[in-house]
C-alpha cells in the first residue's frame, strides 16, 4: 500500500466561474510518487467545490467502479485531501453530521487571475480510514 507520509500538497485550479478546472495531488516523503487517479479528475471536472465536498465516498467508489483495495485506498486519500482542501477554502467545517477537520489543512497560497483561482494547500493525512467497500 502507499505510504502514510506526514503531509501532502494539493494544487486546485478553479475556472473564472468557480468550477474545478484541475487539481494535482503531490505526496511528499514517499519513496515513489503516487499516480493520480485520472477517473477522479474526470469525475470532478467542471463541478463546484460544494459538489466535491458533498460527494459520499461509497457513492464515488460505486460510480468509478473501484473494487481493488489498493486503488480504493489511493482514491480515498485523494478524495479526502481534495474534500478537506475545498472545505478549508470555502470555510466549511461540517457536512451533515460529519465534522471536517480544517486543522489538518493549511492554505499556502492563493493566486487569482482573470482565468480563475489557484489554491495551494498542505494537508495532513486523515486520522481514520474507511473500511474497504465491496461492490458485488
In CATH, what number is assigned to the domain containing residue 15?
3.90.1010
pLDDT-based confidence at residue 89 (cuts at 50, 70, 90)? very high
Task: State residue 32's pLDDT score.
Answer: 47
pLDDT-based confidence at residue 6 (cuts at 50, 70, 90)? low
Q: What is the pLDDT of residues 39-80, one digit of tens each?
A: 899 999 999 999 999 999 989 999 999 888 888 888 888 888
- Within a domain: 71: yes
What single string gives the DSSP state of each residue in the chain? -----S-EEEEEEEETTSBEEEEEEEE-S-SSPPPP-HHHHHHHTT-BHHHHHH--HHHHHHHHT--SHHHHHHHHHHHHHHHHHHHHHHT--EETTEEP-GGGEEEEEEEEETTEEEEEEEEPPPSS-PPPPP--
Show the domain range for 62. Answer: 8-123
The number of folded domains in the chain is 1
- Within a domain: 2: no
Amino acid at each position: 500500500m502507499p505510504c502514510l507520509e506526514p503531509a501532502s500538497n494539493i494544487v486546485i485550479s478553479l475556472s473564472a466561474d468557480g468550477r474545478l478546472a484541475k487539481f494535482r495531488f503531490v505526496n511528499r516523503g514517499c519513496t515513489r510518487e503516487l499516480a493520480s487517479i485520472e477517473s477522479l479528475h474526470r469525475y470532478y471536472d467542471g463541478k463546484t467545490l460544494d459538489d466535491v465536498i458533498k460527494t459520499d465516498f461509497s457513492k464515488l467508489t460505486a460510480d468509478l467502479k473501484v473494487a481493488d483495495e489498493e486503488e480504493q485506498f489511493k482514491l480515498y486519500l485523494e478524495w479526502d485531501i481534495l474534500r478537506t482542501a475545498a472545505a478549508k477554502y470555502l470555510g466549511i467545517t461540517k457536512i451533515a453530521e460529519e465534522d471536517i477537520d480544517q486543522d489538518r489543512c493549511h492554505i499556502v497560497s492563493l493566486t487569482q487571475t482573470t482565468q480563475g483561482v489557484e489554491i495551494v494547500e498542505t494537508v495532513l493525512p486523515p486520522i481514520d480510514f474507511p473500511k474497504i467497500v465491496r461492490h458485488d
